Amino acid sequence: MILVLIVIIIFGIIADALGTAAAAASLKPVNALAAKKELGAKEAVIIIKKADRFANICQDVIGDVLNTLSGVFGVGIVIAITSDIKRQDIYTLIITAIIVALTVFGKAIGKYYAMNHANKLMIICGKVIYIFKKVVGK
């Protein structure tokens, strides 16, 4: 359960960073890569052109859902590690503090990286979308 919680927190951090990167990315250099037929650059251009929607989905939808799920898993961990009702409050407080600290710290690092490497992140995201399209066939 703890491993799943960590994965959820990491995906939330990544989603938040991608939303920030989309908003911070510059269209010109990515467009130049698309003209050179760089793998995933065409998809990255589309993301950057629709940065407001992409950032909203990544940060407000995916991020919020994953943050809520991390809280649910935190409660599940508390229930799993203690059977003493009197101590559940303390464990809940500790687990919640750890989840919040990891999330806030991770998002701060993710946003810093996203602001300084926005175009690179958009190309990586474009490559993932390109590969996904090839696998799915669309």
Residue 36 gets which letter from DSSP? T
- Closest by CA to 94, choosing from 112, 119, 75, is 75
Q: Which two tokens stand for residue 19?
A: 């939303």
**How many residues are given for the chain?**
138
Cα gap 98→73, rounded to integer Å: 12
Query: How much of the chain is helix, strand and coil, in % rounded to 5?
Result: 90, 0, 10
pLDDT by residue (tens digit) across 6-58?
999 999 999 999 999 999 999 999 999 999 999 999 999 999 999 999 999 99
- pLDDT, tens digit (0-9, with 9 covering 90-100), for 55-111: 999 999 998 899 899 989 988 888 888 877 777 888 888 999 999 999 999 999 999
